[in-house]
Structure 1
């Protein structure tokens, strides 16, 4: 299964009138992706509660939407993101606790409407994750998280990511086309197209194919990570950041200097053994590199989508496209 790059859809929530817009947008997205009226109604209900919760305890924030492609059909991901100083999680999880302008069903009831629900909150703010799938879709949730945003909401994004799954194997690509805008996107998309033809080929060969495909474009930074259920193989050219994180340690993954599609010396792939159960985090240089998950107690155990959203919220540079990709490296995928 291949999943191609797409931007995170961001809805600003700072006024009660925007709750209805969030509800309609999420419901229409669900209907467009195969949800029946009952399941699309669940999406609408959850979107309403998440948006209302932002206004109640934070006064303003964002609702992030993403389609989750599946082997058959798709799911809908919603993340409520804010920078509030105080968040009474236990109260909000209580049924009947009104978040203002809603039936007061509480986030506890919302969690029962969703297939995946997770929260991380501290003095810097809160991120609430809800993932919904059609009720007949019994496949397990993939523990991946992606937060991707273009500079100043430009329709063109010079960052591109790609995921491929084959049983226990996972192959991951992140490209940052030089600069931003249409020409950067053209360069990155050329690389992605070449990678998608054979995502489980040797990463060195994949890099060479992308180099040829990106020649004549601006070129860009490229990183490929392949996980076989136990070990990880990684190759990178340019400034794509990457690390493998466990609860008690973090290892940076080494990249080489150069520009794919331009000029780089012969690349070398590095092997990292026994990484199952850890997190792989890859990110473009639109994200600052000075973050440390140890500064967020317990965050390493949260859903990768929550981690990606928090890293984007707190460390986005704000002057380039930005991509954050977080994957729980697990022994097998359904």
Structure 2
């Protein structure tokens, strides 16, 4: 497996974006302005910036009107050819039982015109939505300068602990000789030094040859010896073999989730860059309806897929954001990444 090629995604994955707690109109306006500034920096044409402004304003307005603990994330999304802006709006409000009716213009649960969700769907280049009564709603919308790219095989997000502006967690994905590798990393502690360790792990991950996960983890361990260290794990999805190969050091949780089943993957004790007794790789079967979910210890395993009807059929971003919303703690950096067989 030496030699070969590695297709890398841009290091925009290190951009955790800007988080906004949206509880009043002023917060909604701040989120809209941030989205517009980001779009201008990325060089989106004026008509697409106008569309993004509508998407962000409507998403934030819905949080103000309907949500409990409404939060909105504005961040960059990238391919090798273009960059766009992604809006993730999440809440723990009443939720919706009939999404199709809610998206249709004229429906409202707050006595308004009810055009918000329909407008978001029309103006966005791509959008996805999931809602569960009593648990809340998750909305993801992207605005691209041209046609949107095809759905990605992996997606994730990170969030800093309360009071910090930068997260010590990071993730990255790459294609390596027809196999698909995912890194989840948690720099020790929090703040700038933790982020520096995770960012170094991401750079080393992209630089590593297309070798199996255990060899990648070994390479990252060597590269992190000048940092404070990190917990990290690498999963490799192999469509031809129908397997996930997994190797990790420290408190990174990896799980293969299928309808009706959930199987944890093994990470061994250690700190990449400083302490490791051994690095071992384990194989797990994965079927076409399954997905791999990896997260840092800022996310707890207290969620159950059965409590979220239809979630496994939504986009990887919606799944990752839902887990972060409901199982992430505010006392630590938190990161989640979800991957499927392409």
Provide the TM-score with structure 1 as the length reference.
0.89
Q: Secondary structure at the match of 1:146?
A: strand
CA contact (8 A) 2:225 2:273 kept: yes
Q: What are the within-5 Å matches in structure 2 for residues 214-229 of structure 1?
A: 214-229=224-239
Q: Is the 8 A contact 1:226 1:234 kept in 2?
A: yes
Query: Structure 1 8/291 Cα, relative in aligned 2: closer, same or farther at 3 Å?
Result: farther
Deviations 1:135-171 (A, max 9, x none): 3x35313143322111224234321211213585322
Residue number in structure 2 paired with 1:133: 144
Partner of 2:160: 150
Distance 1:86 1:190, change over 3 A: closer
Displacement after TM superposition at 1:6 (Å): 2.4
Alignment correspondent of 1:68: 77
- The answer for unaligned runs of 5 or more in structure 2 is 1-7
Say whether 1:327 aligns with 2:339. Answer: yes
In structure 2, do the counterparts of structure 1 residues 102 and 285 end up closer, same or farther at CA, with 3 Å as the change threshold?
same
* 1:114 aligned to which of 100, 115, 124: 124
Q: Distance in 1 between matches of 2:271 and 2:94?
A: 42
- Between the aligned partners of 2:296 and 2:248, the Cα distance in structure 1 is 12
Cα shift readout 1:86-139 (whole Å, capped 9, x = no counterpart): 54745531224579899853312321222322222221211112122223x353
Structure 2 contact 188–229 (Cα < 8 Å) conserved: yes
User: Which segment drifts farther, 149-158 or 100-109?
Assistant: 100-109
Counterpart in the other structure of 1:270:
282
Partners of 1:44 and 1:251 in 2: CA distance: 42
Task: Tell me the CA shift for residue 274 of structure 1.
Answer: 4.2
Paired residue total: 329
**Displacement of 1:223:** 0.1
RMSD: 2.4
Q: Do the aligned partners of 2:259 and 2:289 also contact (CA within 8 Å) in 1?
A: no
Q: Within 5 A, what are the aligned runs for 1:234-245?
A: 234-245=246-257
The answer on 1:297 being equivalent to 2:306 is: no
- Cα gap change, 1:27/1:280 in structure 2, threshold over 3 Å: closer, same or farther? same
Task: Report the Cα distance in structure 2 between the residues aligned to 1:314 and 1:328, rounded to whole angstroms.
Answer: 21
**Are 1:171 and 1:199, in contact at CA under 8 Å, matched by a contact in 2?**
no
Query: Which one of 85, 88, 92 corresponds to residue 79 of structure 1?
Result: 88
> Structure 1: 5+ residue runs without aligned partners?
none
Deviation at 1:197, TM superposition (A): 0.5
Displacement of 1:192 in angstroms is 2.3
- TM-score, normalization: structure 2? 0.87
Question: CA contact under 8 A between 1:195 and 1:210: conserved in structure 2?
Answer: yes
Preserved contact between residue 220 and residue 273 of structure 2 (Cα < 8 Å): yes
Q: Check if 1:306 corresponds to 2:306.
A: no
* Residues 251-290 of structure 1 aligned to structure 2 (within 5 Å): 251-290=263-302
> Alignment partner of 2:56: what SS?
helix
Aligned to 2:5: none
Give the secondary-structure state (helix, strand or coil) at the position aligned to 1:85. Answer: coil
Equivalents in 2 of 1:295, 1:99: separation in Å?
23
